[in-house]
Structure 1
């Protein structure tokens, strides 16, 4: 069939459809020109990547942040939670919850509960263990720990709000 004068050759379109049914179409010539390897990957039958192995860290010393992050951030204790409480009821609820989850012993539960139930007991417990933790306590205290190329960088003193 001869092309008549002024008639253009029809543009070939590539249609790409994803799993959800979204279809995108591209001009085949432009697509081949800009992405020659991608078109072979899309058109190919095999679309998977082989994983040869998975590295498992058995030695905790291989984990770069293990001994540099304070224990208070990794595993807060009952006192850490109580220091955020403003009422005795909140503190007792937290103690009950921690006991139910076996995160504190019954002996520790009873000792802390006894101390909190005394007159001004909650305030005394909070003051004995470092004071009340305001909102943003951890951010202000520990924002100096920033992962940077496998190490922890400490900010200068003027970046830290000391209490």
Structure 2
């Protein structure tokens, strides 16, 4: 009894998602540009990288956020927990702010990597601190 209760407590809502696998032809039909990029294999040269997201935030050039419309990622970066992030994804999808396909990809990322996969947490005053 205790073992089953413990198992249920360890599960996250994202554990119940259905994972999608594609065969090659289906993938090429659904994502032609991505399939072409993968086939060409030219890639993108990476000449620098950041060790931590915080370091990248500090090095980023300040910008003006006047008229800026936050994205789903901006909202997810405000979340404390995976459950909060899942609630935001579901809400944005139900309002039509994001497509079901984008919502699915975000849920998969959330399930596999957690809420911090979307970037470091944005605390109160983030835009004032990072803006011009």
TM interval, shorter chain, is: 0.3 to 0.5
Query: If each structure's helix is expressed as a fraction of its own residues, which one has the higher value?
Result: 2
Normalising by structure 2, report the TM-score.
0.47
